[in-house]
Amino acid sequence: MDQGETRRHNEEILRRARSGDLLEFPRELGYSHWGVYVGTGYVIHLAGEPGDGLSTADVTVRKDSFWTVAGNSRARINNIFDGVERLQPAKEIVKRAESKVGHRGYDLVSTNCEHFATWCRYDVARSSQVEAVQTAVSSALDNVEEVLRNVAENHPDCEGRSAARRWLAVGQAVIQLKDHFMQSKTDPQLKGLSSNK
């Protein structure tokens, strides 16, 4: 899509956006940057350099123009967890977003831009992107575990079964570590954002 089409698309999104809507800005690297539309053409979001949504140095909640945040992205209104999580009133969403401007903190797994945006709208910090990766990793580990279990039980020789059982034990330990890590990384109230004021 050329820049003119992207511009026209984003103008339409900006016309349709209402205060408290979550805006998603898909980036070229295969992830999306997220922010909260607060009206009059502004977005509050957790980002590094203005609008980049990528840099982890000095990541701060900031208020930028929609166009700064959008950059070359085709924005979309994506109130992703409406109907799943409890929706806050629009004024409360904006108030929550504004209350964090200037706060710092970033963790890819527990305090990223999508966590910030969903916390403002739903009072629960969630990231569909992180959840999708967690699901994929869990599925892959489950598949490896199943293969190792099958080899441990059915390999034709004793050495093969023994080696598979050792690898199965390692795999199960990795799964336990992953589960522990993911549980310890949850930050549903964004306590990871510290005041910088």
Q: Which of 85, 103, 126 is the last residue of a domain?
A: 126
Candidate list 9, 103, 113, 180, residue with the active-site label: 113
**Model pTM score:** 0.71
Per-residue tens of pLDDT for the chain, all 197 residues = 688 999 999 999 999 999 999 999 998 877 899 999 999 999 999 987 654 555 555 788 999 999 999 999 999 999 999 999 999 999 999 999 999 999 887 766 667 889 899 999 999 888 867 666 666 666 666 666 677 667 667 777 777 767 766 776 776 666 666 665 555 455 555 665 655 54
Statement to judge: residues 151 and 93 lie in one domain: no
Statement to judge: residues 23 and 97 lie in one domain: yes
Specify the pairing of strand 22-26 against strand 32-39.
antiparallel
d(Cα 162, Cα 14) in Å, to the nearest integer? 62
Statement to judge: residues 110 and 143 lie in one domain: no
Q: Is residue 45 flagged as an active site residue?
A: yes
Beta strands in 8-74 (DSSP E): 22-26, 32-39, 42-47, 60-65
From residue 84, give the alpha-carbon distance in Å to each of 62, 78, 188.
Answer: 27, 13, 15
Let me know if 128 is exposed, middle or buried by CB neighbors in 10 A (0-12, 13-18, 19+): middle
Reported as a single tens digit per residue, the pLDDT across 30-86 is 789 999 999 999 999 998 765 455 555 578 899 999 999 999 999 999 999 999 999
**Domain count of the chain?**
2
Statement to judge: residues 17 and 78 lie in one domain: yes
What is the layout of strands, in order, in the sheet containing 32-39? Answer: 60-65, 42-47, 32-39, 22-26, 76-77
Let me know if 119 is exposed, middle or buried by CB neighbors in 10 A (0-12, 13-18, 19+): buried
Candidate list 45, 103, 115, 120, residue with the active-site label: 45
| Of 119, 137, 121, residue with least CA distance to 192 | 119
User: What pLDDT is recorded for position 72?
Assistant: 92
User: What pLDDT is recorded for position 63?
Assistant: 97
User: What pLDDT is recorded for position 127?
Assistant: 82
The residue segments making up the domain with residue 82 are: 3-126
Q: Is residue 120 flagged as an active site residue?
A: no
**What SS3 state is found at 142?**
helix
Candidate list 33, 103, 115, 120, residue with the active-site label: 33
Statement to judge: residues 87 and 64 lie in one domain: yes
Statement to judge: residues 156 and 87 lie in one domain: no
User: What pLDDT is recorded for position 194?
Assistant: 54
Statement to judge: residues 98 and 46 lie in one domain: yes
Q: Is residue 180 flagged as an active site residue?
A: no
